[in-house]
Amino acid sequence: MFEEFQAETVRLENASIFVRHGGGDGPPVVLLHGHPRTSATWHRVAPLLVRRGFRVICPDLRGYGRSRGPAHTADHAGYAKRAMAGDVVAVARALGHERFAVAGHDRGSYVALRLALDHQATVSRVALLDCVPISEHLTRITPEFATRWWHWFFFAQPDTPERVINADPDAWYRGDPDRMGRENHAEWRAATRDPDVVRAMLEDYRAGLTVDRRDEEADRAAGVRVRCPALVLWSLRDDLEELHGDPLAIWRDWADDVRGHGIDSGHHMAEEAPEVLAAALGGFLGDGGPPGQSTG
């Protein structure tokens, strides 16, 4: 994986972030993974973007994979998306980039959203993959959503999820090495067997239902919006559109310039449809045209 990429750990004030980065002197793009993946989930997409001329940066989110975060607190603020977004900005600057594009999938999409809202002078473009904002999910709770996404509410419980998952992580987190790629699978499996990583991933979800939800609601009330161009992509073989309807309609309440479409893939699109995803990201990130040309 990641041939010709460099790997290093960037030490921050209250986190250490493992990051892979590679490519030439082209425009930088940060790729943010979801749960329970690591930066290795991008192993098929990142080289394709490098070939398109981009400088590609793939960190492990705070607490995931080989990254580490602060001690856990009752308010879960150490694993808030605002804190994770701050990590990404600090890592990009440590690598010499003051401004960059970002693509986030699953939990990483919430970090990408926070970057676009909090760091508008830093983020040039944002791609949001298989997601709507956390607060939008929560205002649309139905029996179908609660049944299919029950893990959100289970992970939010104190202590019990750790005991259940760590008792048999291989049974809880199941992955196919042939579909994921064997090295990616091995890295993912090592991470999910680490109780410290499991606890941090659960703190991510606990923050999502508390501090992250409040931060999103405060932004909506204050009229804070995503001002840079936004690309929304979703998996046609997952349930986002089935549960919530057209994702673009939801995102237009949050962003000025939204375009996007569904991808014929299951949820882990970076692993299942890397060529299609890289083409969509490359075309969007390389589009220097004016904002406001939204498509459905």
The confidence score (pLDDT) of residue 256 equals 97
Catalytic annotation on 267? yes
Q: What is the pLDDT of residues 10-26, one digit of tens each?
A: 999 999 999 999 998 99
pLDDT of 67 above 90? yes
Q: What is the pLDDT of residues 244-289, one digit of tens each?
A: 999 999 999 999 999 999 999 999 999 999 999 999 999 999 854 3
- Residues 54-72: what's their mean pLDDT? 97
The confidence score (pLDDT) of residue 118 equals 98
Query: Across the beta sheet with 16-22, what order do the strands follow?
Result: 6-11, 16-22, 55-59, 28-32, 100-105, 123-129, 230-235, 258-263
The confidence score (pLDDT) of residue 274 equals 98
The confidence score (pLDDT) of residue 286 equals 85
Instruction: Write down the residue that tokens 């983020």 correspond to.
Output: 123
Q: Which residues touch 242 (CB under 8 Å, ≥6 apart)? A: none
Say what the pTM is.
Answer: 0.95
Q: What is the pLDDT of residues 88-97, one digit of tens each?
A: 999 999 999 9
pLDDT of 198 above 60? yes
Q: Give dist(CA 17, CA 183) in Å, integer.
A: 20
Hey, what domains does the chain have and what are their CATH numbers? 6-285 (3.40.50.1820)
pLDDT of 113 above 90? yes
- Reading the block at residue 220, the tokens are 């909506």
Residue 121 has a CB neighbour count (10 Å cut-off) of 9
Q: What is the pLDDT of residues 148-165, one digit of tens each?
A: 999 999 999 999 999 999
- Nearest C-alpha neighbor of 190 from the set 71, 69, 66: 66
Q: What percent of the chain has a predicted confidence (pLDDT) above 90?
A: 95
Predicted confidence band at 47 (pLDDT cuts at 50, 70, 90)?
very high
The confidence score (pLDDT) of residue 289 equals 36
* Catalytic residue selected from 60, 106, 130, 212: 106
Q: What is the pLDDT of residues 138-197, one digit of tens each?
A: 999 999 999 999 999 999 999 999 999 999 999 999 999 999 999 999 999 999 999 999
Contact assessment for residue 88 and residue 115, using Cβ atoms and an 8 Å cutoff? yes
Catalytic annotation on 106? yes
The confidence score (pLDDT) of residue 12 equals 97
How far from the centroid of its chain's Cα atoms is residue 56's Cα?
Answer: 15
What is the average pLDDT value for the chain, to the nearest integer? Answer: 95
The confidence score (pLDDT) of residue 296 equals 31
DSSP secondary structure letters along the chain: --TT-EEEEEE-SS-EEEEEEE--SS-EEEEE--TT--GGGGTTTHHHHHHTT-EEEEEPPTTSTT-B-----TT-GGGSHHHHHHHHHHHHHHTT-SSEEEEEETHHHHHHHHHHHH-TTTEEEEEEES---HHHHHHT--HHHHHHTHHHHHHTSSSHHHHHHHH-HHHHS---HHHH-HHHHHHHHHHHT-HHHHHHHHHHHHHIIIIIHHHHHHHHHHT--B-S-EEEEEETTSSHHHHHS-HHHHHTTTBSSEEEEEESS-S-HHHHSHHHHHHHHHHHHT--SPS-----
- Residues 44-62: what's their mean pLDDT? 97
Q: What percent of the chain has a predicted confidence (pLDDT) above 70?
A: 97
